[in-house]
Amino acid sequence: GDGEAREAPLPTEQPISVGLCIKMSAISASEKVDGFTRKSMRKAQKQRKSQGSSQYRTHSTPVELSPLPQLKDAPSTEQQELFTQKLQQCCMLFDFFDSVTDLKSKEIKRATLNELVDYVSTNRGVLVESAYPEITNMITTNIFRTLPPSENPDFDPEEDEPTLEASWPHMQLVYEFLLRFLENPDFQPSIAKRYIDQKFVQQLLELFDSEDPRERDFLKTILHRIYGKFLGLRAFIRKQINNIFLRFIYETEHFNGVAELLEILGSIINGFALPLKAEHKQFLMKVLIPLHTAKGLALFHAQLAYCVVQFLEKDPTLTEPVIRGLLKFWPKTCSQKEVMFLGEIEEILDVIEPTQFKKIQEPLFKQISKCVANPHFQVAERALYFWNNEYILSLIEENIDKILPIMFCSLYRISKEHWNPTIVALVYNVLKTLMEMNCTLFDELTSSYKADRQREKKKEQERDELWKKLDELRLSNPALVQNNSHGLLRVQNNNNNNNNNSSNNINNSDTQDRDVDSAVAITTDEKEPDSMAAGESTLSAK
Amino acid sequence: MAGADGDDSLYPIAVLIDELRNEDVQLRLNSIKKLSTIALALGVERTRTELLPFLTDTIYDEDEVLLALAEQLGNFTMLVGGPEYVHCLLPPLESLATVEETVVRDKAVESLRKISQEHSPVDLEVHFEPLVKRLASGDWFTSRTSACGLFSVCYPRVSSTVKAEIRQHFRTLCSDDTPMVRRAAASKLGEFAKVLELDYVKSDIISLFTALASDEQDSVRLLAVEACVSIATLLPQEDLETLVMPTLRQAAEDKSWRVRYMVADKFSELQKAVGPEITKNDLVPAFQNLLKDCEAEVRAAAANKVKEFCENLPEDNREQIIMTHILPCVKELVSDTNQHVKSALASVIMGLSTILGKDNTIEHLLPLFLAQLKDECPEVRLNIISNLDCVNEVIGIRQLSQSLLPAIVELAEDAKWRVRLAIIEYMPLLAGQLGVEFFDEKLNTLCMAWLIDHVYAIREAATCNLMKLVEKFGAEWAQNTIVPKVLGMANDPNYLHRMTTLFCINVIVHCCGYPYREITTKQMLPVVLKMSNDQVANVRFNVAKSLQKIGPVLDSNALQTEVKPVLEKLASDTDMDVKYFAQEAISVLALA
């Protein structure tokens, strides 16, 4: 994410993100032009763009197709031969970027594909051994390709319209055909595995990065069927998904098909045998939990949480490491993600065993107490809703002497301080519930509240003093002084700047009231150029 | 060491470690960032025996804390007692080099690379190299990825047996099962090749290079292109054709645009590495293809390299190659469908004129410049204008001025303030090249109009622009052309424009300085003084600020009789800030 510790790599340093190269150059240039292009304008551009061709091929021009006779009209002895011819005919690729060329051939291919789909879904005995290589060849020729660079380098899957695959009229039918082929009752994995092999699956997985949701949806169903039918490919598929996720988390932060892959995994995890293999546990801890750090979590959080809960239902002893993992990656600045995390925690608590709960309650409720005190009311509200959950309530009651001391301080403070009246009302209810659970403890905590705060303050002072002494020691050490003094100087400069700014701003707002002739009152005028765009947009609004 | 006399009772380790363990991440982070201070307080002995083991054991923490730790440990050599003890830092860094988060791991590797230099050759073999081996054969991919970055720093300083082991480990990682590791190995291939003996480059590196360049994953293949530059530089010319070129040719026609993009992006480096003959025979056609690639990203990357590529062509038939092979592609790119491609081209195309000379420029390039000056995308026009100096040297800017002016005027009035800002920044350059007459006639009005733009950043840039123009055209020009208009704005009904007058005066005084104090005293000072009665406080305190700047060029008479009374009046203003700045001016000008 933007605010995370990760440094923004230069394109030359991290060639893996080559897809973003134009973005880098475009940003430097377009920032010159305007860093804040209005959303509506960008939207308009997008609609125009949303039909790029993604098929990479050499510049050979397609040969015109001539229609073959219908399969259903051919005598059964010739059907197989005709089937093969039709498959070969469908290997011809067309340029859909140019909507006027090869119209006739495009239509012939479309009709043929339709016929092929129909042929493999309704007829028995058509999947003879010799057809397998022809079928897979037709499929690989049509769907396997290097995906194009995103038309929109700033593509935000939550906001923007995806670029749709231009050759979809054909590609959809090829995917449909592949699915019918796999689902045909005569389909024999033992023959097909010669063609639907690791390389095939590898290429199929790479297509999950397609921006076109229709394509990803087909891929999801197809990969699921392949996983079900080819036992020999299962471990390989899991490993490759692993790699895709790790690359997504730690290298590119970009992959369009995360949600679809997680959905498949959800059903795979469901079928894991007990006890869980070490490989699967590793997948949970080293892949699924770190996936929570992704910037676009909202796009696949539901699927991800489902996978996590599936694991915990299989093996409750994983609860503690999972919750600790989530706490480690707890969002610091993104409230929207924090709400998602709280949702996932509630899903986990719904299925938690009381013994597991005891193991994790302290760190967990320390986090929850921070959440209820969050100034963002949605975060606070989401956390406080836990107290509406009967099962969670029973767990809290059972462990009230541990949980109340952790929660009390936050709740007590925000009951007096939170700006949002709904939150304050909710907090009163929660405090009341907790008080009813252990009245004596509640009274003790109330009476010691002030003393506790003072003790904390004192500790704070002691810490400051310790560091002051340490810094003095550091300053008296010639080897380290130089470094430090630079730091100090910089801080002072910043302070000065800040002072100047604030005094100007104050003055500016002051004078505007008295300023009779300033028709154009620009409050942002004195600020740094960074904030200028805001100034301009208010102006143009007038 | 300095820490040796640290008072133990003052800084008990327990307290310090408590700080490193604080429940609050922010406090923990603060403590880690001051780890050197803690080490200093403990002294070298206890840092080695107590602090480092503690750090090694508590590696499970937030990534942000770990990142700070990894960074700190790279600078810890003196704090553990110097190079003799530097190997004490290896255990915690080894753990850090295995964590998941890339940023942390990279930082740990960086620190390990740094302290490897501080190891003696013996320590390197006894402590450092075993660490590299452990990482290289780790279970989880993270440690193997980290290992890739460490081979090249220890290879040159170890015995030949250990060297052989290191080469073997590197080979293994290049064919690792995990693409992440292969990517890491591929990205370090060039660096590793540089420290290897030439024979091993030919025997080991080339086969690894060929394998990685045909990896199933394009993310691995494209990294091999980067390595190609280093490898080609190391090999003697006669080996390039057989050892490198087949792979490079294949990369330039890779089915993945990412790989082709990489070739385009590294084209100048590749060109230098393979030398003029191969450039002529192989790279010229490859470059043409990249300029005509079906993906805009690739075309843009190649377009960016047009000038550099042409510049580095062998001189004997440079012009012929450009005219017959490159220029036709360039012409097509001028009307490319993609604006990034056009703007990439526009940022370099002007550079061709120096290479091709006057006649070719006028005949072949000028039409292209003119077309780009009329491009619909402002970025393209800006890029042309920002590189005018190249053309100016060859054919003079007058050739362009007919088309230039409308382009400038249009950009100057663009609705986007950032476009206006960009064109202002080129004004001094344009003024210098077009000359004062042309400027006065055509551009002066624009420059003055920017002073009353409704966006502050533009007014500010316009003020700064005035300063540069005065520097260029001299004080006399300023007196005649600029000063009257600036002073006229002092009576503007909008206080923002009145303030602009003050800002302009500040810069003009700064430029004209003492020799021209006549202008200051006679023309500008009276206006400034009069503005001290302005009804807007912002104007008044800017008067105080301006007086502070003007003061040093005035004679003492003017200071005492004219400036001082005004500042004193402002110092008793009702507004707090006016008072503040007036007082500041009084003390700076020593008028108290």
B490-508: pLDDT as tens digits: 888 889 989 999 999 888 8
Rounded Cα–Cα distance for residues B556 and A110 (Å): 92
Closest CA to B98 of B159, B140, B126: B140
Report, as an integer, the average pLDDT of A410-417: 87
Q: State the pLDDT at residue B444.
A: 84
CB contact under 8 A, B258 and A19: yes
Partner-chain contact A56 B255, CB within 8 Å: yes
DSSP string, A471-512: HHHHHT-HHHHHHHHHHHHHHHHHHHHHHHHHHHHHHHHHHH
Lowest mean pLDDT among B56-65, B323-332, B479-488, B539-548: B56-65
Mean pLDDT across chain B: 87
Taking the C-alpha atoms of residue B563 and residue B551, their distance in angstroms, rounded to an integer, is 8
pLDDT recorded at residue A479: 54
Mean pLDDT value of segment B32-48 = 85
Q: Tell me how many degrees the CA angle B79-B81-B86 measures, rounded to the nearest 5.
A: 90
Contact A536 B417 (CB under 8 A): yes
Chain A CB contacts of B2 below 8 Å: 477-479
What is the per-residue pLDDT for B260? 95
Q: Do residues B484 and B522 lie in contact, with contact meaning Cβ atoms separated by under 8 Å?
A: no
Whether residues B535 and A508 touch (CB distance < 8 A) is answered with no
Upstream peptide bond of A275 is cis (omega within 30 degrees of 0): yes
Contact between B119 and B130 under an 8 Å Cβ cutoff? The reply is no
What pLDDT, on the 0 to 100 scale, is given for residue B59? 64
Q: Using one digit for the tens of pLDDT, what is the confidence trace for B264-292?
A: 999 999 999 998 888 888 999 999 999 99
Please check whether residue A67 touches B, CB under 8 A. Answer: no
Contact residues on chain B for A255, CB-CB shorter than 8 A: none
Contact state of B222 with A328 under an 8 Å Cβ cutoff: no
pLDDT of B514 reads: 60
Flag if B101 and A536 touch (Cβ within 8 Å).
no
A477: chain B residues, CB-CB within 8 Å: 2, 40
Span between the terminal Cα atoms of chain A, in Å: 35
Residues in B 475-534 with any Cβ partner in A closer than 8 A: 493-496
pLDDT for residue A537 = 32
What are the structure tokens assigned to A454, written together?
Answer: 């003072």
- pLDDT for the residue A488: 35
Model confidence at B185: pLDDT above 90: yes
* pLDDT band of B513, cuts 50, 70, 90: low
CA distance to partner chain A, nearest, from residue B138 (Å): 15
Please tell me the distance from the alpha carbon of residue A277 to that of residue A280, in angstroms, as a whole number. Answer: 5
Q: If you average pLDDT over residues B113-123, what whole number do you get?
A: 92
pLDDT of residue A523: 34
- Locate the chain A residue with the closest alpha carbon to B341: A22
Q: Outline where A184-300 has alpha helix (H).
A: 189-192, 198-206, 213-229, 234-247, 258-270, 278-283, 289-291
At A501 the pLDDT is 37
Over the stretch A301-321, which tens digit does the pLDDT of each residue have? 999 999 999 999 999 999 999
Residue A246 pLDDT exceeds 70? yes
Which pLDDT band holds residue A26 (cuts at 50, 70, 90)? Answer: very low
What's the pLDDT score for residue A370? 93
- Taking alpha carbons only, the member of B542, B552, B560 closest to residue B496 is B542
Is the CB of residue B304 less than 8 Å away from at least one CB of chain A?
yes
The pLDDT of residue B13 is 66
pLDDT, position B408: 82
Q: What is the DSSP string of B452-513?
A: T-SSHHHHHHHHHHHHHHHHHH-HHHIIIIIHHHHHHGGG-SSHHHHHHHHHHHHHHHHHHT
Whether A499 has its CB under 8 Å from any CB of chain B: the answer is no
Contact B467, B510 (CB under 8 A): yes
Calculate Rg over the CA atoms of chain A: 31
Which pLDDT belongs to residue A32? 37
Q: Decide if A251 and B102 are in contact by the 8 Å CB cutoff.
A: yes
DSSP A315: -
Interval A346-399: pLDDT, tens: 999 999 999 999 999 999 999 999 999 999 999 999 999 999 999 999 999 999
Residues of chain A with Cβ-Cβ distance to B454 below 8 Å are 520, 522, 536, 539
Helix H segments across B324-377? Answer: 327-334, 339-346, 352-360, 366-373
Are A503 and B296 inside 8 Å of each other by CB? no
Q: What is the mean pLDDT of residues B55-67?
A: 81
Verify whether the Cβ–Cβ distance A25 to B300 is below 8 Å. Answer: yes
Q: Which residues between 250 and 289 in chain A have a beta carbon less than 8 angstroms from any beta carbon of chain B?
A: 250-251, 286
Strand residue runs (E) in B102-204: none
* pLDDT tens-place string over residues A472-528: 776 666 555 444 333 333 333 333 333 333 333 333 333 333 333 333 333 333 333
- B268, B230 in Cβ contact below 8 A? no
How many Å from the N-terminal Cα to the C-terminal Cα in chain B?
A: 52
Q: Measured between beta carbons, which residues in chain B are less than 8 angstroms from residue A519?
A: 494
As to burial, measured by CB atoms within 10 angstroms (0-12 exposed, 13-18 middle, 19+ buried), residue A299 is middle
Report the share of chain B in percent with pLDDT over 90: 44
- ∠ CA B576-B578-B583, rounded to 5°: 95
Of A54-68, B47-61, B201-215, give the lowest mean pLDDT range. A54-68
- Interface residue B382 vs chain A (CB under 8 A): yes
- Average pLDDT over chain A, rounded to an integer: 78
Of residues B581, B83, B150, the one with CA closest to residue A507: B581
Interface touch B418/A21, C-beta < 8 Å:
no
Q: Considering only residues B205 and A496, tell me which one the structure prediction assigns the higher pLDDT.
A: B205
Structural contact between residues B539 and B499, judged by C-beta atoms closer than 8 angstroms: yes
If you measure CA to CA, which chain B residue comes closest to A286? B100
Q: Nearest Cβ partner of B257 from A16, A30, A56?
A: A56
Q: Which residues of B touch A29 (CB under 8 A)?
A: 343, 379, 383
Q: Provide the sign of the torsion angle of the four alpha carbons B39, B41, B43, B47, taken in this order.
A: negative
B225 membership: H or E segment, kind and range: helix B218-234
How buried is residue A343: exposed, middle or buried, by Cβ count under 10 Å (0-12/13-18/19+)? Answer: middle
Minimal CA separation from B309 to chain A, in Å: 18
Taking residues B456-464, report their average pLDDT: 90
Q: What stretches of B335-441 show up as alpha helix (H) in DSSP?
A: 339-346, 352-360, 366-373, 378-386, 388-395, 398-412, 417-438
Distance CA(B208)–CA(B148), nearest Å, equals 14
Checking if the pLDDT of A297 tops 90, the result is yes
Q: What is the pLDDT of residues A186-206, one digit of tens each?
A: 999 999 999 999 999 999 999
| Averaged pLDDT for residues B352-357 | 88
Report ipTM for this prediction.
Answer: 0.75
Find out whether B419 and B382 touch, Cβ atoms under 8 Å: yes
Q: What is the DSSP letter of A36?
A: T
% of chain A at pLDDT higher than 70: 75
- Asked if A126 and A120 count as a contact pair (C-beta separation under 8 A), the reply is yes
Q: Within an 8 Å CB–CB cutoff, is residue B300 touching chain A? A: yes
Shortest alpha-carbon distance between residue B93 and chain A (Å): 19
* Cα angle A269, A273, A274; round to 5: 110
The answer to whether the CB atoms of B11 and A469 lie below 8 A apart is yes
Is the CB of A56 inside 8 Å of chain B's CB atoms?
yes
B146: helix, coil or strand? helix
From A463, A466, A507, residue closest to B537, measured CB to CB: A507
For B40, the closest of A5, A15, A473 (CB atoms) is A473
* B336 token code pair: 């490319």
Q: What pLDDT does residue B34 have? A: 82
Q: CA-CA distance, B489 to B475, in Å (whole number)?
A: 20
